[in-house]
Structure 1
């Protein structure tokens, strides 16, 4: 018998902040009209390749200096 994989359910009382401040959002692709999902308002369409500008997201992006691999001199 093949076992079906189901995604892990997040309890409804937990907020996006409890998960690192990330929220899955959805919109319509501005090029082809497909429904696309993204993280914090940043989208990329897998059908036509449309990507919205990084500044249109709903949260600030981390700085390069915040990356643990950033070369600190």
Structure 2
């Protein structure tokens, strides 16, 4: 089960980073410094999304349960 979850996280991370990189390549008019910062942001987002999504989901569940 853990292997399945890790595989799912990795696949989603690869998909998101590929989509973000395609979007950044289309970005005309970016200076070289802006491009570097954009790629850095994509890298950081790809690394940390597996931490943020479960935390946000648990918080959403807690809010939903407390309102019931």
What's the TM-score once normalised by structure 1's chain length? 0.25
More strand by share: 1
Whose RCO is larger (CA < 8 A, sep 6+)? 2
